[in-house]
Structure 1
């Protein structure tokens, strides 16, 4: 990973009110631009575009469709946090270090667990849907 050369710290005056809200919005937009360039995030977003309509088109109760949607949103959040963790690890430890590997592996495991929970939730939801139609 290419590291940008550090630049002098910008003005760190504490913002309040509307200025704080605007700055937070810009930071979030920058984060979304950064994560949009990540292959894993784009794959998960594509999967969401294919899977989430099914949650609302199949005859699930409202609470279940909402839960399935929120669980997939959690995958995107966990992937974003994993990407942030990887960026910090790459900055702090450009060379190989066992703790850097462990941190990256744990972040990846978090993504994998969130995906596994989705598979479990969808499997159970579809099974209950099928069981209810008999």
Structure 2
């Protein structure tokens, strides 16, 4: 039980540190908070509403991993390194893919609500 408690504290501390240092994390947290009531109106079913929130939580998770990669890479060296640059680009690409997935899920849900699909 203590291990779960400590893991929760570490996770919270990581989220707070990321939110303090990264605008993208703050934006996605705000988007997630806004999505909770909005998903209720957009989702045709309860399951769809939950999916809409979960896909944004997935986006946040990918953004947190990307932030961790960037912070670690910057800790290794601040000099320009081609391989580190590629690693950062890959993390950014992962965020881009997650954004596309989240956007597609929300667009589909809105179309479903409007009776288009």
In structure 2, which of residues 58, 61, 72 is the aligned counterpart of residue 74 of structure 1?
58
Higher helix share goes to which structure? 2
How does 1:84-95 map onto structure 2 within 5 Å? Answer: 84-95=68-79
Distance 1:113 1:59 in 2: 22
* Equivalent position of 1:25 in the other structure: 8
How does 1:117-128 map onto structure 2 within 5 Å? Answer: 117-128=101-112
4+ residue runs of structure 1 moved beyond 3 angstroms?
Answer: none
Distance 2:4 2:103 in 1: 36
Aligned residues: 116
Task: List gaps (5 residues or longer) in structure 2.
Answer: none
Which has the greater radius of gyration? Answer: 1
Distance 1:32 1:55 in 2: 23
Distance 1:66 1:99 in 2: 39
* Equivalent position of 1:52 in the other structure: 36
* Equivalent position of 1:34 in the other structure: 17
TM-score, normalised with respect to structure 2: 0.88
Asked which structure has the greater RCO (Cα within 8 Å, sep 6+), the reply is 2
Task: List gaps (5 residues or longer) in structure 1.
Answer: 1-16
1:66 CA drift (Å)? 0.9
Structural RMSD (CA):
1.8
- Please tell me whether the aligned partners of residues 44 and 112 of structure 2 are also in contact (alpha carbons under 8 angstroms): no
- Please tell me whether the aligned partners of residues 73 and 84 of structure 2 are also in contact (alpha carbons under 8 angstroms): yes
